[in-house]
Structure 1
Amino acid sequence: MSSSLQIYLLSFFSFFFVIFFILKWISFHFKTKKSFPPSPRKLPIIGNLHQLGSSPHRSLHALSQKHGPLMLMHFGSVPVLIASSAESAREIMKTHDLKFANRPKLNIPDIVIYGSNDITFSRYGEYWRQVKSIAVVHLLNNMRVQSFQHVRAKEVAVMIEMIEKDGGSNSVTDLSELIFWLVNNIVCTVALGRTYRGSKFRNLLERFVEVFGAISVGSYIPWLSWIDRLSGLEDKAHKVAKELDAFLQGAAEEHTNKRKGMDNAQSDEEQDLVDILLDVQRDNTTGFTLHNDTIKALILDVFVAGTDTTFATLIWSISELLRHPRVMRKLQQEVTEIAQGKPLILEKDLEKMEYLKATIKEILRMYPSLPLLIPRESRQDVKLMGYDIPRGTQTIVNAWAIGRDPTSWKEPNEFWPERFLNSPTDYKGVHFELIPFGAGRRGCPGIQFGVAIIELALANIVYKFDLRLPNGVEYGDLDMSETCAITLHRASPLMVVASPRSTI
């Protein structure tokens, strides 16, 4: 074979192999290329953390209007998916619910809630399934919630009496203060068997919510976790955790000692949630060991979710009713007709109050107590709305933005309860345009418990009193500024003049 032919063949095969490898590389490139959701520009190290601002739900809503209802952001080194539409929420919490059933590991919950061993923050797995089952079967089922009717009725009556004592043509009532203690007393009695009052106890709960809502740098940029120590956040969290543990441990020991001297089993009405959990721990019928720290973590869940969110919803409800006298009059007319002259409205009357229920739905749409639902985390790679979402992506659903989405709601920024009359839309996790309590496996199991307090308290307040703003403030001038740590609150206390209604 001549040298020229050898050179020709060598060149041909070299060219062939080069083309072959180029084609293989192109094929591999297109097969492995991922399609990620649109992303705002990020900064080195901190990613998009600087774009959260003081009201993250509003900041993320504004970004979603520019980048779309599904955004991929980065909080430090952590990829975070932000869902801001009913469609994206449905995909996450229904279509791919199991794939997004995990919770991310977060530093502050680990410190203050016994290593995140509660229902809300524990990672998906057998432990979470067991504690969720205990809560659903033993603590928050329909029969158990109904068994606490007498507690709700008693505490609402006490609140009404206190408003009456404050009442007068010009006497100003701090309704925020009274409603806080109403909700707190109900939750304390239900959970622990007695009430706990005083500024020290309230301060402890407020500090818990404060540290819980703070952004932990170490959760998103682990090598900068020293910033949490330098800022004092970790120290505050450890102090709150220590005080809460001492309080809950004392309550548990008090129950254990009381039960030692009892001969007979308690009736349902005599049992509080600690009693129930101690019975579950003693009987151990499932083979799952219910440790003392788990009991305390479950009670802490009820405390925080039951008190802070319920209180916030009631205050927003009355604030909007004050700003909309037409709605207030219509609601007062309904409760007055159904009460038929009773001294107070009873829970059995509430089922007939369609406008009351519509009003509360409208408040939950506009002011979800958790505007950003508790983060989830993808357990595996997911194809979501045409985008590739990698395993381990933290996922946040902006319930506040979804409740104000004009594609789902007509005039979404207007307070208009009539939109829910003769409408099947509800807040129980089936209709994804209204998800203040989440949905799917990680949805809130205590919906019925919280709503029962809201309905009874609101119905009785508007039934018994005409409310107006003090110092000649016009309804339209009521300050509706908000503050948001993890829960959405009014920035200032709600002060009113409450006059007994003459039509009762």
Structure 2
Amino acid sequence: MGISLLCFCLVTLVTLILIVKKIKHSKWNLPPSPPKFPVIGNLHQIGGLPHRSLERLARKYGPVMLLHFGFVPVVVVSSREAAEEVLRTHDLDCCSRPKLVGTRLLSRDFKDIAFTPYGEEWKERRKLAVRELFCLKKVQSFRYIREEECNFMVKKLSESAVNRTPVDLSKALFWLTASILFRVALGQNFYESKFIDKEKIEELVTRLNDVFLKLDDLFQRVIDDHKSPGRSKEHEDIIDAMLDVLHKQGENDSLKLTVDHIRGVVSNIFLAGIDTGAINMIWAMTELARNPKLMKKVQSEIRDNLGNNKETITEEDIDKVPYLKMFKASAIGRDPKLWTNPEEFNPERFIDKPVDYRGQHFEFLPFGSGRRMCPGMPMGMAIVELGLLNLLYFFDWSLPDGMTIDDIDMEEAGTLTIVKKVPLKLVPVRVM
């Protein structure tokens, strides 16, 4: 009797679950979804390389699919049409951000731009970023910093070139972007700063647990230094600009800027900017190292257009080399319906193709689109273009002794940003 009752209850419970599930799907007309486990949902299907896992799932379940990260439903879109639907047609409905524990820590209780939910507070901060921090005039004012740091990188690489010593290009490009952003955001020379423990910067950028307290302490000390009346400065950096806004705001302003907001925005710049620019340059140089003919072609165009006697490269030189812009972009598109052989590194696919990176062509969105489009796009592009131009103008590049093209490791690592797992090491040969 007891066993029969238990079986009846189990059958009834399973039947009710199936009925509720069917009604729920019918009511909401949800996108296709892979089977999920209790509690973890579809997390077991994501793995260590989410972009590859999501690509495989999208091939099976379509360009709009529903996943569950634990108990959190997540809609994944992976086609040009679906991206346009989300980022243009329904931009206002989709542009907010969930309040999660991790993003609360990362954003200093939602005092930043990247993770703050959509609303009046976020709109004011976004306006500050676009008008004051990353406007064209402000980005151009930092041009000499980018040029000086690239010159310093060329000098260091030239020292290795004397003895044909392999250099860790991954590390060199990370320090290049870090050096530029330290001066732009904090007004501090990376190699001379009294606040920076240089050996732990990589740890601060890549580890999440106690990083926030350490970064907050670093940023607060720099902010306090900026407030000192006798402080000498070579230029007005981003903290100066935000402190100026803070001092000018009135008592009756509805949305006040605070020091917490300054720390949040500066944190966005570092955590989003240091690695992404370097990662793009590292993958570009990796692909060129695997394609020597392509490397020679882009170098020939650069040197033919700029001449053979330049001591330094300036940002005015970037527009003289259109081929450089094409090969930076070629690693972004992945949809085989839109791109021929999308996994192949082929910059020439962009010749006479009206596809731009500024968020209006939804098959190609390196900086996103809509209200949440990356406000740091002009700064990021300037760093990547100038860095690559210096590497390819002043140096030829060869593989270390005993290494062939087939030995170049292309394994990926990371989640939100996809890094080269094995650092790229090449031998610089100074030619200019």
TM-score (norm 1): 0.77
- Displacement of 1:453: 0.7
Q: Compare 148-157 and 167-176 and name the one that shifted more.
A: 167-176
Whether contact under 8 Å (2:290, 2:405) holds in the other structure is yes
Q: Which residue of 2 aligns with 1:448?
A: 378
Q: Structure 2: how far apart are the matches of 1:180 and 1:60?
A: 28
Give the conservation status (yes or no) of the 8 Å contact 1:192–1:272.
yes
* 1:467 matched residue in structure 2: 397
Q: Is the 8 A contact 1:169 1:499 kept in 2?
A: no
Identify the match of residue 352 of structure 2 among 417, 422, 425.
422
1-structure distance, mates of 2:414, 2:24: 44
Give RMSD over aligned pairs. 2.0
* Corresponding residue number in structure 2 for 1:382: none
Matched, 1:496 2:426: yes
For 2:19, the equivalent position in structure 1 comes to none
Instruction: Confirm whether residue 280 of structure 1 aligns to residue 250 of structure 2.
Output: no
Q: Which whole-Å CA distance do the structure 1 matches of 2:79 and 2:349 have between them?
A: 19
Q: What's the CA shift for 1:177?
A: 1.7
Matched, 1:99 2:70: no
Cα distance in 2 for residues equivalent to 1:304 and 1:207: 9
Residue 217 of structure 2 is matched in structure 1 by: 246
Match of 1:139 among 133, 138, 151: 133
CA contact (8 A) 1:113 1:241 kept: no
* One-letter identity of the residue aligned with 2:244: D
Question: Residues 200, 332 of structure 1: CA spacing in aligned structure 2 closer, same or farther, 3 A cutoff?
Answer: same
CA–CA distance in structure 2, aligned partners of residues 318 and 31 of structure 1: 48
- Aligned partners of 1:37 and 1:70 also within 8 Å: yes
- TM-superposition CA deviations, 1:384-422 (whole Å, max 9, x none): xxxxxxxxxxxxxxxxxxx21101101101100011122
Aligned counterparts of 1:272 and 1:256: Cα–Cα separation in 2: 13
Q: Work out the CA distance in 2 between the residues paired with 1:332 and 1:141.
A: 31
Equivalent residues in 2 for 1:165-244, closer than 5 Å: 165-168=159-162, 170-197=164-191, 200-201=197-198, 203-211=200-208, 236=209, 239-244=210-215
Higher relative contact order at CA 8 Å, sep ≥6: structure 1 or structure 2?
1
Residue 152 of structure 1, aligned match among 118, 121, 146: 146
Q: Is the 8 A contact 1:209 1:485 kept in 2?
A: no
CA distance in 1, matches of 2:211, 2:170: 24
Find the counterpart in structure 1 of residue 7 from structure 2: none
1:3-402 alignment runs, 5 A limit: 33-168=27-162, 170-197=164-191, 200-201=197-198, 203-211=200-208, 236=209, 239-257=210-228, 260-261=229-230, 270-284=235-249, 287=253, 288-340=255-307, 341-363=309-331, 365=332
Note closer, same or farther for the CA distance 1:179–1:412 as it changes in structure 2 (3 Å cut): same
Q: Which residue of 2 aligns with 1:482?
A: 412
Question: Which amino acid in structure 2 is aligned with residue 360 of structure 1?
Answer: K
Given that 2:397 and 2:426 are in contact with CA atoms closer than 8 Å, whether structure 1 keeps it comes out as yes
The 3-state SS of whatever aligns with 1:470 is coil
- Three-state SS of the structure 2 residue aligned to 1:351 is helix
Counterparts of 1:208 and 1:457 in 2: how far apart (Å)?
A: 21
Asked if the contact 1:466/1:498 (under 8 Å) is kept, the reply is: yes
Q: CA deviation at 1:170?
A: 3.7
Deviation at 1:207? 4.2
* Contact 1:168–1:497 (Cα < 8 Å) also in 2: no
In the alignment, is the contact (CA less than 8 A) between 1:64 and 1:84 conserved in 2?
A: yes
Kindly tell me: are residues 279 and 64 of structure 1, through their superposed partners in 2, closer, same or farther at Cα, counting changes over 3 Å?
same
1:463 maps to amino acid: Y
SS in 2 for 1:53: coil
Q: Whole-Å Cα distance in 2 between the matches of residues 490 and 116 of structure 1?
A: 31
What corresponds to 1:215 in structure 2?
A: none
**Offset at residue 468 of structure 1 (A):** 1.1
Structure 1, unaligned runs of 5 or more: 1-28, 212-235, 366-402
**Number of paired residues?**
404
Q: 1:426 corresponds to which letter in structure 2? A: D
Deviations 1:48-87 (A, max 9, x none): 1111111111111101111111101111111110111111
Cα distance, 1:90 vs. partner? 0.8
Cα pair 1:339 1:345 within 8 Å, conserved? no
Counterpart AA for 1:273:
I
Aligned with 1:133: secondary structure?
Answer: helix
Q: Return the index of the structure with the highest Cα Rg.
A: 1
Go from structure 1 to structure 2 and tell me whether the alpha carbon gap of 1:31 and 1:43 turns closer, same or farther (over 3 Å shift): closer
1:304-345 deviations in whole A, cap 9, x for unaligned?
222111111111111011011121111101110221221122
Q: 2: distance between equivalents of 1:30 and 1:434?
A: 35
Letter in 1 for 2:240: D
Deviations 1:253-310 (A, max 9, x none): 00001xx2379xx8xx710111111101111169231100001111111112221111
Percent of residue pairs bearing the same amino acid type: 40
Q: Could you list the runs of 5+ residues in structure 2 that have no partner in the other structure? A: 1-22
| Mapped partners of 2:415, 2:197: distance in 1 | 20
1:190 CA drift (Å): 0.5
Deviation at 1:153, TM superposition (A): 0.6
Deviations 1:447-477 (A, max 9, x none): 1101101101101111111101112211233
Tell me the residue number matched to 1:437: 367
Aligned equivalents of 1:336, 1:196: Cα separation in 2:
31
Q: Quick check: 55-64 or 478-487, which moved more?
A: 478-487
CA distance in 2, matches of 1:418, 1:84: 24
Tell whether the 8 Å contact from 2:204 to 2:215 is kept in structure 1 after alignment: no
Rounded to whole Å, the distance in 2 between the matches of 1:349 and 1:497 is 25
Q: Which amino acid aligns with 2:43?
A: L
Give the 3 Å change call, closer, same or farther, for CA 31–79 of structure 1 in structure 2. closer
Q: Distance in 2 between matches of 1:124 and 1:454?
A: 30
- Name the SS of the counterpart of 2:153 in structure 1: helix
Secondary structure in 1 matching 2:109: coil
